[in-house]
Structure 1
Amino acid sequence: MKKFTPTMLLLLATFTVTFVTAQGPEAEALDDSNFYTETTKKEFANRAIKALDPNGFMYEFENLNINTPYSEHATAFFRDKVIVSSAKRIGGFTSKKDGFYNLYCGDLNQKGDIKNLVNFSRAINTKENHEGSVALSNAQDVVFFTRSVEENGEYNLKIFRAEMIEYEWTNFEMLPFNMEGYAIENPVLSPDDKTIYFSANIPGSKGGFDLFSVAINEDGTYGTPVNLGSEINTHKDERFPYVMGDNSALYFSSNGHYNLGGLDIFESKIIDGKFNFPVNMGSSLNSPEDDFGFLMDQSNSGFFTSNRAGGKGGNDIYYFKREKTLQSLQGTIVDYKTNMILPNATVTVVDAYGRIVDKIKTNDQGIFTTKVIPYNSYTLHASKDGFIETDEDFESYRGDDFTHKLTIKLPQAKAEIVEVEEKLMIKIENIYFDYNKWVIKDESTLSLNKIIEVLNENPTMVIEINAHTDTRGKAGYNYTLSNKRAASAKKYLIENGINASRLVSKGYGETQPLEKCGANCSETQHETNRRIEFVIVE
């Protein structure tokens, strides 16, 4: 079975999207000829929305009352409030230039709305510069923020730091890894306050803006910025990083990965300290316009910013709640040759990072069920006593609520002739009967077929079929039951071509247990004692 990478899976799910994103240079040429019209663009965008399923989550969101014809952007949680970067004039405070932002702070109510915006800090906000994205330490006594700096007649954003002393932000400094002539913006702190992630177009970028990290050393100095690598960054723009408080995922916006158009919000799982493939958060969140500034608490609700159609103007803040989409994999284990269902087979589910995420057994219908995450790949290790263990690759190739179906075929292992306590025996897996019954279960006919194969290969071989029970129940009853079970196995072999003269059947009841645990036996030990042995007599 062909194994797809997670990125290939997203490409399969968004085949129409790749057509849109591949149109860059050609689209400009078509615009020049008035052929590639706005109507055509909308048609492609609508196709993309339908093609890109949600990545494991369904989002519900609403435009907030604080939005205006200017631009707003929710940038950080601060105690029980939210810090908003806005070009709006509030409280008589205005920026020097149109499009320049200042920082405000608003109360967060239970419905997710932001109320009562006030100036976040007159020490941080200026009339001459833009103040943007904010990151706060865990103690919320250190703040990192972006501020525009004029360089040779142009404004570039830089990252600044300040600390709170006696309820005032003070000790301002522009961080040393800022570079003249380049934009460094959107700071966010790792949960342990030891790393700053940011977006920049500095040397070392793969194209446009890339995401970088820089270490905060114990002595308060800073390391050298490190590019997050080609798994995250593309030849276009990656901006607005955000790391979950439990360090489980990095969210960011990109127009370089497969998307709906403009900036889309992506998620990269953090596993063993490494950023894994970024996955588009889906068309229930992203739009054909710019979507960015993802900000989420631990309750699966938060904010993002978008200039999508239907807003109040500029960039608007949206409050969202999300619910996880429910996906499951229902598999059936069958015999490779006969397609007979195989109950009591074991399936171990391993994710793309080699972690065991589930271990289940098939039921009486040979069926197992496990939960899977959309757009993830898995390996299923299927095993059963008497069969050759088989691996099957599986890809959860869609993002909505769905139950995948899969059939795994297990080849039988051949019977072996072994010596046990000076007796030669044909070794096969256990023969199964219903409780207190002597009719052979269908799955065990596959095992008896192995005995037939050995006997046909050895035409002079004579065997004794010895049946044993566990130690529960009365001895007399167990003796009778074991004789009936041995006779059932003998009858099956005769019906399938083995001469009766080559077969002897005998029941031993509970007199020869392998596990001598008496009344204290576990169910596994009882199962070991319930057995049929095929002893070679001649």
Structure 2
Amino acid sequence: MKKIYYILFVFCSITTLFAQKKVSVKQADALFKSRSYVKAAEAYEQLPQSKQVLQNLGDSYYYNFQMTSAVKAYGQLFFSHKDSVKKDVFFRYANALKGTKDFDKGDAIMTEYIGFEQNTPKFMKNITRNTPNSFKLQMMSKNKTNGDFGISFYGDKVTFASLRNGGEKNAYGWNDRPYLDLFSATVSSDGQLTKVEPFSDVINTKKHESNATFSADLKTMYFNRSGEKQNKIGDEKVAMIKIYKAELVNGKWANVTMLPFSSDSYSVEHPFLTKDGKKLYFASDMPGSLGSFDIYVVDVNEDGTYSQPRNLGETINTNQREQFPFLTEDGTLYFASDGHQGNGNLDVFMAMKLSDTEFDKPLNLGSTINSEMDDFNFILDEKTGKGYFASNRTGDDNLYTFTQEENKLQYLVEGEVRDMKSMQLLPGSTVKLFNEAGELLEEVVVGKDGSFTFNTEPNKKYKIMAFKDFYIPAEATFDTSQKGKVYIDLQMKVESYYDAEDIINKKDDGTVLIELENIYFDLDKWNIKPQAAEVLNVLLGILKKYPYMEIEIGSHTDSRASDMYNLRLSNKRAASALEYLVQNGIDRKRLRSIGYGETKPLIICPKNDCTEAEHAANRRCTFMILK
């Protein structure tokens, strides 16, 4: 979002710098620290492009969602200083790239940030197919620059925050735009905001007001207001966002009081009151938060007091932003996040309620509602399937109405890949989906959470196989003959070769060897003798038992004779062993032979003076598992 309602409200005290022709780094930094990002960007554009100037310039554009300009500044920063750039800048650069729809580069930067592979287009395609609902959208105002957001239900009306009273309030330093006020409106039959009226001056002040929520009888209102005074937080002076309560007395709003868990040291924002009035959800960056903003809940007691805020925990909250909570009567939580995997920047997610502060794993609502920019403030009328949300996908914050429709019939299969012995997740595993004829339909490489998802068709039979290097593939079959939606949870447990077979061992250097008796060749010969055949037959049995195993046959000589002679001889012996396996039914594609000559002796003799026994030990074949 281009506004500060999801972070800290900060107030600009520097207004005269640009009357000067020259700007110093000190002046630009002062603007940046006061979060006057528009003026800060103008100042940094005039300065030599050092590492700090480029980072602050990129951040100034990023925080005002001028993504094209942010990408340009970050791009120069990464070109010249990537090795010393802090990790959090990787996150912002990746989202800026996604905001310009450069998903290839954005995913590459995000992969470096989180440490496992990202593929946003593929993820969004899969998740959009598998979400319970799709959405039809319509913008609620013909004026796309009103800065509307923060919508909530208000009886048969709605309330929202807007810049519409722009002429009555001073410009706000963050984005050089007016302060926010709260308005009520009626939604017309064609989805437009009509009969728009501001709340009274008791609610709307010279500060920001936004995000109202109401009791069922509409006599109690909670809303956001920015703080009256600025407090020094680190190097910055900022005014925090607070939650206030107002009461309707004789048809007018009165008795405006700040909630006790609001603070001058952190922000509390985006309140949502449950229909029974017993719980108030909100977002905050208070001490103990997992990320920049987390979602919390407090109990609203009958005597008007509040419990201590409770964090909703790691299932919902990440090390980034979680904001704009909304709960339906059935306990489904909708919220915005840029920490869970999504399309880039804030996306809307849903999570089913399990208990007071526990929710199921969040589900991205897909690309029928989420864009590459910020999408947030989702509210829903469960009875009609209609609702509203906000997005800055057009460059400014705007409100949208949506109609929620059930997704077409889906047959969803998902699961996890784990080590059979340790039960640890195995990120990096490959999972393949086959049809009844054995044809490969789709394959995925699972991410950090070890999970996979496939969308299938009705009345079909399928097989899933999970692969991991040095592991025995696991497989499962299923069919989609049932009526309606099918959810299949498969725990794919793969066993490592070295756990399954005594003669297979993992070495300290990570290599996995099949340890067999040594194969002996006559002097200067490479043909397979009966004793060698017996050993290779054991290997043959292993390869037939595990048809996806791939190996390297390595041949080694002692140090006698010349280097070239030994290299040629070892290559011939390794190739001879390979051909024996091929002649006995093993696919050549599963085998690789290599002669090492005397380059990798098992025993290194002092002054190269080996005994006959040591020479014999160095003349050996090794069988290393590749896959």
Q: Shorter-chain-normalised TM-score: which range?
A: 0.5 to 0.7
Tell me, yes or no, if the aligned pair for 2:381 and 2:387 is still in contact at 8 Å: yes
The CA deviation string for residues 395-447 of structure 1, in whole angstroms up to 9 with x for no partner, is xxxxxxxxxxxxxxxxxxxxxxxxxxxxxxxxxxxxxxxxxxxxxxxxxxxxx
Asked if residue 319 in structure 1 is aligned to residue 401 in structure 2, the reply is: yes
**Deviates most, 33-42 or 274-283:** 33-42
After TM superposition, give the deviation of residue 302 of structure 1 in Å. Answer: 1.2
Counterpart among 218, 226, 251 of residue 167 in structure 1: 251
Q: Which has the higher helix share?
A: 2
Q: Does structure 1 residue 267 correspond to structure 2 residue 356?
A: no
1:321-400 equivalent positions in 2, closer than 5 A: 321-329=403-411, 368-372=481-485, 377-378=488-489
Structure 1 pair 325/224, CA: closer, same or farther in 2 (3 Å)?
same
Distance in 2 (alpha carbons) for counterparts of 1:220 and 1:64: 36
Return the alpha-carbon distance in structure 2 between the equivalents of residues 251 and 138 of structure 1: 19
Equivalent in the alignment of 1:526 = none
Map 1:415-494; keep pairs closer than 5 Å: none
Amino acid in the other structure paired with 1:107: T
- Matched to 2:330, the amino acid is N
The answer to whether the 8 A contact 1:251-1:268 is kept is: yes
Q: Which has the higher contact order (CA 8 A, sep 6+)?
A: 1
Matched, 1:185 2:269: yes
By how many angstroms is 1:43 displaced? 3.0
Structure 1 Cα separation of the partners of residues 145 and 78 of structure 2: 30
Tell me the equivalent position of 2:225: 147
- 1:194 paired with 2:278, answer yes
- 2:162 match: 86
**How far apart, CA to CA, are the structure 1 residues paired with 2:376 and 2:145?**
18
Deviation of 1:276 (Å): 1.1
TM-score (norm 1): 0.54
- Corresponding residue of 2:295: 211
Decide whether aligned partners of structure 1 residues 39 and 101 sit closer, same or farther in structure 2, where only a CA change above 3 A counts: closer
Match of 2:322 among 238, 245, 265: 238
Aligned-partner residue type, residue 43 of structure 1: D
Identify the match of residue 151 of structure 2 among 69, 72, 75.
Answer: 75
Unaligned runs of 5+ in 2: 1-69, 83-92, 107-118, 232-236, 414-435, 437-478, 493-627
Deviation at 1:81, TM superposition (A): 1.1
Q: Is this contact kept in 1: 2:157–2:185, CA < 8 A?
A: yes
TM-score norm. by structure 2 comes to 0.47
Q: What's the RMSD between the two structures over aligned residues?
A: 3.2
Distance across 2 between alignment mates of 1:164 and 1:190:
18
In 2, Cα distance between the equivalents of 1:249 and 1:39? 32
Moved more, 60-69 or 250-259: 60-69
Aligned position for 1:120: 199
Which range moves more in the overlay, 113-122 or 252-261? 113-122
CA shift in 2, pair 1:191/1:79, >3 Å: closer
Q: Which residue of 1 aligns with 2:103?
A: 44
Match of 1:137 among 183, 190, 215: 215
Query: How many angstroms apart in 1 are the aligned matches of 2:97 and 2:213?
Result: 40
Q: Please give the alpha-carbon distance, in whole angstroms, between the structure 2 residues aligned to 1:220 and 1:136.
A: 15
Distance 1:370 1:118, change over 3 A: same
Shift of 1:28: 5.0
Q: Which has the higher strand share?
A: 1
Q: Confirm or deny that 1:253 pairs with 2:336.
A: yes
Are 1:294 and 1:304, in contact at CA under 8 Å, matched by a contact in 2? Answer: yes
Structure 1 residues 19-58: Cα deviation after superposition (integer angstroms, max 9, x where no partner)? xxxxx99x95775318989888523179734541322211
Q: Which residue of structure 2 aligns with residue 109 of structure 1?
A: 188
Q: Say whether the 8 Å CA contact 2:161–2:183 is kept in structure 1.
A: yes
Flag the 1:107–1:284 CA change in 2: closer, same or farther, 3 A.
same
C-alpha contact 2:240 2:263 (8 A) present in aligned 1: no
| Matching residue of 1:56 | 132
Deviation for aligned residue 1:113:
1.7
Residue 214 of structure 1 contacts residue 224 of structure 1 at CA under 8 Å; is this kept in 2? Answer: yes
Q: 2-side partners of 1:60 and 1:31: how far apart?
A: 40
Q: 1:95 to 1:372 in 2, by over 3 A?
A: farther
Name the CA shift for 1:302/1:164 in 2 (closer, same or farther; >3 Å): same
User: SS in structure 2 opposite 1:65?
Assistant: coil
Larger radius of gyration: 1
| Aligned residue type for 1:33 | F
1:96 shift after superposition: 6.0
Alpha-carbon distance, 1:77 to partner: 1.1
Closer/same/farther in 2, CA of residues 377 and 75 from structure 1, 3 Å limit: farther
Residue in 2 that maps onto 1:475: none
> Any residues of structure 2 matched to 1:286-297 within 5 Å, and which?
286-297=370-381
Partner of 2:114: none
Identity of aligned residues (%): 31
Task: Indicate the residue corresponding to 1:33 in structure 2.
Answer: 79
- Which among 193, 206, 220 is matched to residue 304 of structure 2? 220
2:391 to 306, 309, 330: 306
User: What is the CA-CA distance between 1:326 and the residue it aligns to?
Assistant: 2.9
CA gap 1:256/1:63 in 2 versus in 1, 3 angstroms: same
Q: Structure 1: 5+ residue runs without aligned partners?
A: 1-23, 332-338, 340-365, 379-391, 395-538
Shift of 1:330: 11
CA distance, structure 2, for counterparts of residue 169 and residue 66 of structure 1: 30
Residue type of the partner of 1:32?
Answer: F
Shift of 1:377: 5.0
Judge conservation of contact 2:141–2:399 (CA < 8 Å) in 1.
no
1:371 partner amino acid = G
Q: Is the contact made by 1:62 and 1:320 (CA closer than 8 Å) also made in structure 2?
A: yes
Q: What do the CA deviations read for 1:120-175 (whole angstroms, capped 9, x no partner)?
A: 2322001x210011110111110000000023252211000011011011111100
Change (3 A) 1:68 1:328: closer
TM-aligned CA distance change 1:31 to 1:88, over 3 Å: farther
- 1:314 and 1:367 mapped to 2: Cα distance? 45
Residue aligned with 1:370, SS = coil
